[in-house]
Amino acid sequence: MKRASRALVAYSSSEDEALADGPERKKKKLPSLASSIIVPVPVDDPTLHQGRVRATPHVEGQYAAYVYIPLVVHPGTALYSLVDEVLNVTKEMVPAAHVIGEIVSCSRNSGGLVVNSSRKVRELHLSLTRPIFLRAHQREEFKQAIKRIASRRTPFQASFATFSELTNDERTRAFLSLEVGAGHNELRELLSALSPTLQSLRQRDFYSQPRFHVSIAWALLDLDTSVNGDANTKRHPCAYEGVTAVEGTSDNNLSSNGDIGESNKHFQAEYFPRVPHLPSKLIPTLNQRFGARVSSAHIGRFDVDTIVVKIGKDIFSWPFQGSHANLVSS
Angstrom distance (rounded) from CA 169 to CA 130: 9
Estimate to the nearest angstrom the gap between the alpha carbon of 75 and the chain centroid. Answer: 26
Tell me if residue 218 falls in helix, strand or coil.
Answer: strand
Query: What are φ and ψ of residue 281, in 5° steps?
Result: -85, -10
Tell me if residue 64 falls in helix, strand or coil.
Answer: strand
List Cβ neighbours of 279 (8 Å cut-off, separation of 6 or more).
Answer: 93, 94
- On whether the CB atoms of residues 73 and 102 are closer than 8 A, the answer is no
Neighbours of 121 (CB within 10 A): 17
Q: Is 213 a catalytic residue?
A: yes
Pairing verdict, β 241-243 and 156-168: parallel
The distance between the two most distant Cα atoms of the chain, rounded to a whole number of Å, is: 109
- On whether the CB atoms of residues 166 and 240 are closer than 8 A, the answer is yes
Q: Is 324 a catalytic residue?
A: no
Indicate which residue of 98, 125, 184, 236 is catalytic.
125
Indicate which residue of 98, 213, 236, 266 is catalytic.
213
Rounded (to 5) percent helix, strand, coil in the chain = 30, 30, 40
User: Is residue 319 exposed (0-12), middle (13-18) or buried (19+ Cβ within 10 Å)?
Assistant: exposed
Catalytic residues: 125, 213
